[in-house]
Amino acid sequence: MDERLFQAAVDGFRAHFGYDPALLVRAPGRVNLLGEHTDYNEGFVLPVAVDRAAWVAASPRPDSTVRLVALDMGTEATFPLDPIPPRQGDWADYPRGVAWALAGAGFSLAGMDAVLTSDVPIGAGLSSSAAVEVAFAWTWKELSGLPLERTELALLCQRAENEYVGVRCGIMDQMASVWGRAGHALLLDCRTLAVETVPIPPGVAIVVADTLVRRELAASEYNRRRQECEEAVQILADYIPGTRALRDVSLEDLDRFGGHLPPTLLRRARHVVRSNIRVLWAVAAFRAGDLAAVGKAMKYSHLSLRDDYQVSSPELDTLAEAAWEVPGCWGARLTGAGFGGCIVALVAEEAVPELARHLEEVYQARFGRRPTVTVCRASDGAQSVKRAT
């Protein structure tokens, strides 16, 4: 547990509301090792909940008002629960959207005073939005006594982002935030929502290097990629009975029927189909202790995201290629939606200093600034940290 953020949330709540919070909730961000852009295609992903998290300190109110303070931004928001206002285009759309989704599912919500703080960087591909959504959903679950299990909570958070905020994300980010387990990656089947834990061997570090390029294109291009995948499915369904998502298309199917797709749609489909195979290959390799095979899958994934899905950038390519050059780094790739944000590298713990030095040196030489390099640990998912006695 991050004692610094814990204390910041408590102190911030006292400073703004003048009394102690009844509850503290922590919900982690995530880094995805493999399976980028497969989640909304009902495929497989391999995320890790990380030790960067959103924290909410809260207490219930006797009325239906929600008063929120974002400590890191120094801004406040107040809104009623009856009715919940429409999207405003600000940070509070995430908690408002969560309230909207919970209310739409028939749950009665308590008003609350709450403060938010987070060390999940915004726009870096570590899913800061899902961490905030899950943190607030978990807070309402506790304060309102809602009978929500983890997967249902994740689905409602996804609905909030899809239908209220307006970003058509898949389910991976929210599921990783609720189901994370320390020392493990998560194999998530995005069709069945089955989750399997995959142990990360001792001596393995997960290094995240941030390009510091924020993803201005990510939302619009993300929605475009999703639409392109749906268009590919519509065409392939005429030739492959029972196809409802690219999850249902095999490499053999693509070889046989891919010629019916326009070139751009073929590239998108090829990335997704091969990425699903890479995830399952990497899970088997993790369980066999074959980290070289996991790293190879990560490298192929980056090349596919660069060439077939076309969501990389010069900054991401530079960091990934620099990481591949370091002895002890098994693999590296962009992580997140793309167009900026971070790469993730799988590296031997003893090689971390050399990896960080090399990434900083190469990036500085090309772009005139240093990336932010962070060693992440696999973390537990959403949890209540403190309750009133």
**The predicted structure's pLDDT at residue 123:** 67
Instruction: Please report which confidence band the pLDDT of residue 170 belongs to, taking 50, 70 and 90 as the band edges.
Output: confident
Give yes or no for a cis peptide into 83 (omega within 30° of 0). Answer: yes
Instruction: Please report which confidence band the pLDDT of residue 389 belongs to, taking 50, 70 and 90 as the band edges.
Output: very low
- Look at residue 387 and tell me whether its pLDDT is greater than 60: no
Residue 380 is a catalytic residue: no
Provide the 3-class DSSP secondary structure of residue 30.
Answer: strand
- Look at residue 377 and tell me whether its pLDDT is greater than 60: yes
As a whole-number percent, the residues of the chain with pLDDT over 90 amount to 88
User: Of 93, 113, 119, 173, which one is the catalytic site residue?
Assistant: 173
- Look at residue 126 and tell me whether its pLDDT is greater than 90: no
Residues 335-374 have pLDDT tens digits of 988 888 899 999 999 999 999 999 999 999 999 999 999 9
Q: In b/e form, how buried is each residue of 324-359, taking b as 16+ CB within 10 angstroms?
A: bebeebbbbbbbbbbbbbbbbbbbbeebbeebbebb
Instruction: Please report which confidence band the pLDDT of residue 261 belongs to, taking 50, 70 and 90 as the band edges.
Output: very high
CB 254 within 8 A of CB 269: yes
- Look at residue 36 and tell me whether its pLDDT is greater than 50: yes
- Look at residue 83 and tell me whether its pLDDT is greater than 70: yes
Domains and CATH numbers, the chain: 3-199 (3.30.230.10)
Residues 58-77 have pLDDT tens digits of 999 999 999 999 999 999 99
Per-residue pLDDT, averaged over 380-387, amounts to 86
**The predicted structure's pLDDT at residue 231:** 98
Instruction: Please report which confidence band the pLDDT of residue 216 belongs to, taking 50, 70 and 90 as the band edges.
Output: low
- CB-based contacts of 362-366 (< 8 A; 24+ apart in sequence): 362/318, 362/319, 362/322, 363/211, 363/315, 363/318, 363/319, 363/322, 366/318
Instruction: Please report which confidence band the pLDDT of residue 167 belongs to, taking 50, 70 and 90 as the band edges.
Output: confident
**The predicted structure's pLDDT at residue 215:** 62
